[in-house]
Amino acid sequence: MEFSDIAHFLAVAEAGGISRASKQLHTVQSNVSSHIKALEDELGVELFRRHARGMTLTNAGEAFLPYAERITALLREATQVVGDEAEPTGTLAIGSMETTAGLRLPGILATYAADCPRVDFTLTTGTTAELIDMVNDHRLDGGFVCGPVEHDALSANVAFVEELVLVTAQHHGDIRDVFDTPARMLVFRNGCAYRERLQEIFADHGNVDPQVLEFGSLEGILGCVAADMGVTLLPVAVVMASQRAAALRVHQLPPLQARVETLFIRRADSVVSPAMSQFLRHVQRAGSPAVLRSVGR
């Protein structure tokens, strides 16, 4: 079984057709077709259903997909592991919540890029739920998510400890005044752990079905909170670092509600490549509150 056949299989599965896959791979359609045929001939099954709109996986293709993804991940890990650890090479795909990416990672990424210039580093932002799925599916090598995380296939380490606060417009001196009126939640899309915690706080104040406004950016949320459109829940350091901090008021929560751990997750069965090892060292050296200690499961 040729690895190039597997790579073309994954490209067609993702693109949904040979034409789109060939554009992504910068090759001709006939080359993609020949790789798919070679793989199907070797396995003795059809991996795709052909139809007018493109191609979809057969049952056999669905069954083969996770193995193809794992083979690809293992080859990438093997390539990295045999490299010179003094100067890591290869790729490193990391995911992060937007709040962590904006507040905690810039300094870490700057020093990492300077120390490991031969690593092809990518950063993807998303919600905690999205990032967990991407790490589990081998699409990311690791990710910063909101804890706790209960997943047998993943290992989790505490990277940062944050204090969560409720955030309102500046003129709200007492948070109870906000909950006494029909308040809106200003949050990221579903899958955001902070959103889930804010829903619990609303429920504690007797509002089990608040109006929700979803945003795609942190500054969008903070701008609309400053304009008194609703309430949000964020790490206090994120709010204080915002250019809109003067127009916002933070309201402290009880310690058990306020404390949140940002975890760094990766697949438990993955090999720690030199590129990953160096990245984790940079996170550890970032200073308080980075601790990267193991989380018992």
The CATH number linked to 137 is 3.40.190.10
pLDDT digit string (tens) for 67-122? Answer: 999 898 888 777 766 654 557 888 999 999 999 999 999 999 999 999 999 999 99
Q: What pLDDT was estimated at residue 83? A: 57
Between CA 297 and CA 295 the distance in angstroms is 6
- Please count the structural domains in the chain: 3
pLDDT digit string (tens) for 227-263? Answer: 999 999 999 999 999 999 999 999 999 998 999 999 9
Tokens matching residue 180: 């006494």
Q: Which domain holds residue 99?
A: 88-159+261-294
Between CA 273 and CA 266 the distance in angstroms is 12
Instruction: Please name every residue paired with 263 in a beta bridge, in sequence order, or none if there are none.
Output: 145, 158
Q: What 3-state class would DSSP assign to 114? A: helix
Instruction: Please name every residue paired with 124 in a beta bridge, in sequence order, or none if there are none.
Output: 95
The reply to whether 27 and 55 lie within a common domain is: yes
Q: What pLDDT was estimated at residue 286? A: 81
The reply to whether 52 and 175 lie within a common domain is: no
Lowest-confidence pick of 92-96, 179-183, 220-224, 257-261: 179-183
Between CA 231 and CA 234 the distance in angstroms is 10
Between CA 185 and CA 213 the distance in angstroms is 6
Between CA 189 and CA 181 the distance in angstroms is 24
Cβ count near 247 (within 10 Å)? 16
The answer, yes or no, to whether the previous bond of 289 is cis (omega within 30 of 0) is yes
Decide if pLDDT at 5 tops 60.
yes
The reply to whether 125 and 76 lie within a common domain is: no
Cβ count near 270 (within 10 Å)? 18
The reply to whether 73 and 204 lie within a common domain is: no
CATH number of the domain where residue 70 is located: 1.10.10.10
User: What Rg do the C-alpha atoms of the chain give, in angstroms?
Assistant: 23
Q: Which of 219, 200, 218, 224 is nearest to 210 (CA)?
A: 200
